[in-house]
Structure 1
Amino acid sequence: MSDQPLRIGIAGLGTVGCGVVKSLQAHGALLAGQTGREVEITAVCARDKTRDRGLELDGIAWFDDARQLAGSNSIDVFVELIGGEGGMALESVEAALASGRSVVTANKALLARHGLHLARLAEKTGATLNFEAAAAGAVPIVKTLRESLAGNDIKRIYGIMNGTCNYILTRMEAEGRDFGEILADAQKLGYAEADPTADIGGFDTAHKLALLTSLAFGTEVDLDSIYIEGIERISAADLKAADELGYRIKLLGVAVKSDTGIEQRVHPTMVPKNSAIAEIDGVFNAVMVEGDF
């Protein structure tokens, strides 16, 4: 085992950030046993130091500025969980990569807008940019596209990329209830945000699709060129009609390569009941990749 621990700096102590801290602290011994190196949180950054987050932060340095944390010699890896496609999130990730520090982020909006720029910066300085958590929930699609399918000529990638929308559609279909009712339930249960626009409007799916398109086809993606339609106008009657025809309705992100370029779109889609994608219910995601082998 290495004598030197891997020192982690975490920027952003919201729900996800606090979860990461708790997970690393709870599973530190397991990680050390599996990787041969201890993992230690040495610094954190958030807006309000006085807020009680239910975390044990004794002995951990506190930074008020994420950019300073990103460039600090007290960390080896910078974890960005601030959120947003620009501002402090972008500046802190740039600072970390510019100093040669590897970055872990779940920020799909940031990567959809600036992913290529950040990837080039990481390549220039020898750092790594890791973002498995930014696309399709727990589906390990980023590593799969980067490594396992790197030799494939991918023709098409599509899937369910937003658990909130899939949960709503699943319950609407099963219970015969309309969109507004199920959305309200989802918000009470914590499956939907207080402002659910990014999810139900298809924008979250578009961000994830842009990331996967860039990886699958090795191209820069113009996020604004993606056709986006959410699920707000889907009714229980629509789902019943689809069922009678042998289909289910799912919100899909789709990218297809052709001789004329790459088409990207997000919209509710009727999928055959006997298809694999139709079997995905609740908050779960799934991504399908079609290549030449």
Structure 2
Amino acid sequence: MNHEIAISNLTKYYHNHKVLDSITLNVKKGEFIMLLGRSGCGKTTLLNILGGFEPFHSGFVRVQERTAGNAKHKDLESSLDSQKKSRFFTRSSYPKPIYQIKPNKKCIKIFQEYALLPWKSAFENIRFVLKANKIPDGDKIAKKYLEIVGLHEHSDKFPSALSGGQKQRVAIARAMCLKPDILLLDEPFSALDYFIRENLQKLILRLSKSLNMTIVFVTHDIDEAILLGDRIIILHEGKIVREFDNQQKPIKDSRDFYHLKERIAFELQGFEEMVEYNI
């Protein structure tokens, strides 16, 4: 099977801390993947590596046609084990990460902090991205995507005059106007209230299905993971510890929903305090 994203034995260190530990994961075209886990478990680091924002130490990563890394994971581990035995070994002795995926506009990340240009209006923020990527008919496209996210009446407003939910809608429109094949989302709705978050969840789900986009979405919220994900990947201390497939057993009613939520919570309970996962 030809996967949109292929990861094999991906390992990354921050100094002497192994933040990703032999991650292996394949993602199909159009699949909606949820990465679930506590802060510091490696979710954002994995997202950044896929987007080409961070390098890694060993393993292999392919995002569409772009590749980086090698398969010599054991060689790196053996080398580090040998170095650690030396009395001269320090935190700075760890090798620098040398592999990195090349960034591409077909794989875009949406941040929690919106990252809008404060001196430009909602319309101009979208128009700026289109112009930077030399896409013609920028005005027409910017207006179209503002309408899609329901902000056509606020196109002239600057970010300071927009609510948190409206800012995130601009960020979504700005990403979608480039027609990416892959969308990476790092807890984009966590700072928003329940009703705004629910509306944006429905929006991103509708857009992902209509455009057949591959999505990797970081969250710490079990409900969000179940509602959006085709698959839910649980990370703990840099490792994939469990996977739940909503496609194999679709949720038909509230009973199925709460049963799956209990199963996920039970798995997490062995690793974290349940209160951290909005149960």
TM beyond 0.5: no
Q: TM-score, normalised by structure 1?
A: 0.32
Which structure's relative contact order is higher, taking Cα pairs within 8 Å and 6+ residues apart?
A: 2
Scaled by the length of structure 2, what TM-score is found? 0.33
